[in-house]
Amino acid sequence: MGIFKENTSQNGVGSLTILALVERKGFFDTPIEFLKGVGPSKADVLKKELNIYTYGDLLRHYPFRYIDRTRFYRIGEITPDLQYIQLKGIIVDKQLIGEQRRKRLVATLQDERGSHLELVWFQGIKFIEKHIHIGKEYIAFGKPNFFNNKANLPHPDLELVSEAKKEFQTALQPVYSSTEKLKLFFLDTKGIMRLVYNLLEQGANFIDEDLPEAPLEQYKLMSRRDALIQIHFPKDSKLLQRSQARLKFEELFFIQLRLLFNKQIKKRLHNGSLFSVVGDNFNGFYTNHLPFELTGAQKRVIKEIRRDTNSGMQMNRLVQGDVGSGKTVVALMSMLLAIDNGFQACMMAPTEILATQHFHSISMMLKDMPVKVELLTGSTKKKQREKLFEELANGELKLLVGTHALIEDKVQFQNLGLVIIDEQHRFGVEQRAKLWQKNSSPPHILVMTATPIPRTLAMTLYGDLDVSVIDELPAGRKPIQTLHKFENHRLRLHGFLKEEIAKGRQVYIVYPLIEESEKMDYLDLMNGYEHITKSFPQPQYQVSIVHGKMKAAEKDFEMNRFKNGETHIMVATTVIEVGVNVPNASVMVIENAEKFGLSQLHQLRGRVGRGAEQSFCILMSSHKLSSEAKVRLDTMERTNDGFEISEVDLKLRGPGDLEGTQQSGVLDLRLADLAKDQQILIEARRCVEQILEEDPMLNMEKNKTLRIYFEKKSKREITWDKIS
Ligand code: ADP
Ligand code: MG
């Protein structure tokens, strides 16, 4: 490997201690204090500032950038668009300029062509001044700055050529993130680089391979040892890339291993309630009360659910389906299946509006059936609540819809067999877990998301769930037409809305509600409302308003007026984002559309296009658009496909910002990027699947490293993915 020796025993006593430790704890788990150059105080600050506790942590503190040490610029080549550059030359002059607080140190570097460049310091002047020697040759590194059309180099790294040669011979020099605190302990990027160097020099040979041979061969992956060396001290950019690819693969591989291994363990451990019969409720509903023909996709998903619940194992299934794809009826039929088999079922929604709406649409569909359904939310009255609890406990009540009020301890079921969680991303993991414990044997879990998420993200976020996709909209729907318009279009917009209302349609007008500017948004909403009521005067036009500051009862009242067709226009904030179903509404106007994220825009648009009429979504924005906002609005105009939109969203925002990803923890990725590294993820997952298919309990010798990894991991932490 060149800079790292194959044999470390020459280090004498030091490495013996290390050896003993490595054998006891494993190299990666060796406490950072044991590293040469790290005393107690440095160890302390490394822990506090960077969460570096062990050798492994330090090795996983990857450089965020590299300095190309192979390329030297000439001073004449410097242009304003250059990023970091490296120059070589002799310091021919140094001067302290200016008074007091405006004091600066200016040194002049002369390159081999005789051109001059000013190196400038504003801080640490005295110290630096002492260490710069006129007449000596230096390597300077920094980001050039232009002042009056003349380049200078502020606060460059400066190294004597004679010294630079000795240390760290690597083509691409790593740059590490550090903090002000760390710098006080000489742990700037160079300091950290030294530590990593020491560590690799002492211990590179203790870095064992942790991937099985099959993927190493199949994907021609670098060994773990070489990858860790190359990612910190790359010989060239090709090797750097290969080391990154290897470590990304490793990162994603182990996430998938954890998810898929847990998934099958869960299946083995937990017997699910057996839904063995398809009985009167299910059949009766299907034959006599279903108001439409199911789509092929709905039928397929119901079959998948039927198969899961009839397998004797616990179902953990995610149903992904675009807005309007008809998830509710799938949920209802699954619940009827549970009831047919003597179990209770419940459905949990993230907001009161949505829970209420589910309750109403399910009640409607069941109105001629002998199945009772009740609603439980935060505003359910005490008396009603107590009655409800009683009926749940004695099994009289089979079907309950509600908000997270469902997970309170007081809610006790007699025999809960199925839990449906709608709009899953709004529920935290703990909430899922609580529901899970509502029965002596865990109920089947069906999670439904209305926000399509990219396949790769689903693999990672819900990797331990089986996934069904409703990829077909009910027949006869006309695709929604989406148009992006500016303020000068408003009069014509109002004219258009009046035409639609004259045809008997209804209209949503939605304003953003973003927390940091809540007051402003509220003002926007109220101004908007005023304008609307002026342009659409009573009694000809009736306007509803719903926003977050209203009481639940008021919201309900207004929602119902709109739903019953008593009002023509619904002015609202994003409280109506999820799940509201008014098929007669045919126009969705989104104000300040540039302020919304893509998935939100798509959700909002999904409120229309639910009837047989042509529907429209009008995105109103100002002319000032960031390039991202423009991509968002263009994407909305271009496509109605939620999955395509989610891919764009992932690329724009990165996975960390997509809804629901923060609490998951799985996305704590150091190297891999779910938007950019989809191919690696797909390969890593396939590889894990193959391994588990052949060796489900990882008993085979060739999978020993995986079992060890897994045992260690599960001892150390209770992971969220055990509890969904
Ligand atoms: P989402 O998947 O967004 O939750 P919903 O379940 O609310 O969708 O369904 C949207 C609308 O489509 C509802 O009015 C529902 O009654 C209707 N619907 C569902 N399935 C079908 C179908 N197979 N044919 C016709 N209409 C359907
Ligand atoms: Mg829905």
Q: What single-letter amino acid sits at 292? A: F
- Checking DSSP bridges between strand 104-110 and strand 116-121, what pairing results, if any? antiparallel
> Which ligand neighbours the alpha carbon of 563 most closely?
1
User: CA 551, 554, 560: angle at the middle one, nearest 5?
Assistant: 140
Q: How far is CA 449 from the centre of its chain?
A: 15
Is pTM, for the whole model, over 0.95?
no
> Which ligand neighbours the alpha carbon of 610 most closely?
1
The per-residue pLDDT for range 179-204, each reduced to its tens digit, is: 888 988 889 888 999 999 999 988 88
CA distance 525 to 520: 9
For residue 323 and ligand 1, the question of a CB distance below 6 A is answered with yes
CA distance 141 to 144: 9
CATH 3.60.10.10 fits 75-169, yes or no: no
State which ligand 1 atom lies nearest to the alpha carbon of 321.
Answer: 2
Phi/psi zone of residue 319: left (φ > 0), alpha (ψ -120 to 50 degrees), beta? beta
Token pair belonging to 391: 């009926």
Q: How many H-runs (helices) and E-runs (strands) does the chain carry?
A: 25, 22
CATH 3.40.50.300 fits 481-639, yes or no: yes
Q: 237 with 172: CB under 8 angstroms?
A: yes
Distance 583 CA to ligand 2 centre (A): 13
The set of residues, in sequence order, having a beta carbon less than 8 Å from that of 629 and lying 6+ positions away, is 594, 621
- Is residue 703 classed exposed, middle or buried when 0-12, 13-18 and 19+ CB atoms within 10 A define those classes? buried
Secondary structure, 3-state, 267-297: HHHCECCCCCCCCHHHHHHHHHHCCCCCCHH
For residue 610 and ligand 1, the question of a CB distance below 6 A is answered with yes
State which ligand 1 atom lies nearest to the alpha carbon of 330.
Answer: 6
State which ligand 1 atom lies nearest to the alpha carbon of 327.
Answer: 2
CA distance 40 to 354: 55
Token pair belonging to 606: 């999904």
For residue 292 and ligand 1, the question of a CB distance below 6 A is answered with yes
Phi/psi zone of residue 360: left (φ > 0), alpha (ψ -120 to 50 degrees), beta? alpha
Q: 596 with 513: CB under 8 angstroms?
A: no
Which residue ranges make up each domain of the chain?
Answer: 2-65+183-236, 75-169, 280-470, 481-639
CA distance 146 to 82: 11
- Checking DSSP bridges between strand 104-110 and strand 145-147, what pairing results, if any? unpaired
Distance 610 CA to ligand 2 centre (A): 12
| Closest C-alpha to ligand 1, atom 23 | 294
Q: 415 with 342: CB under 8 angstroms?
A: yes
Domains 75-169 and 481-639 alike in fold: no
Q: What is the pLDDT of residue 165?
A: 56
Token pair belonging to 317: 């299934």
Minimal CA–CA distance to 336: which of 355, 309, 297?
309
CA distance 336 to 338: 5
Q: 305 with 420: CB under 8 angstroms?
A: no
CA distance 389 to 392: 5
> Which ligand neighbours the alpha carbon of 606 most closely?
1
Secondary structure class of 505 (helix, strand, coil): coil
Q: What is the pLDDT of residue 721?
A: 39
What letter would DSSP give residue 221? P
The set of residues, in sequence order, having a beta carbon less than 8 Å from that of 372 and lying 6+ positions away, is 396, 397, 398, 399
Other CB atoms within 10 A of residue 515 CB? 6
| Closest C-alpha to ligand 1, atom 10 | 324
Fold of 280-470: Rossmann fold (3.40.50)
Q: Which segments in the chain show pLDDT lower than 50?
A: 1-2, 5-16, 516, 660-666, 717-724
What letter would DSSP give residue 546? E
Q: 224 with 681: CB under 8 angstroms?
A: no
Q: 574 with 555: CB under 8 angstroms?
A: no
Q: 286 with 721: CB under 8 angstroms?
A: no
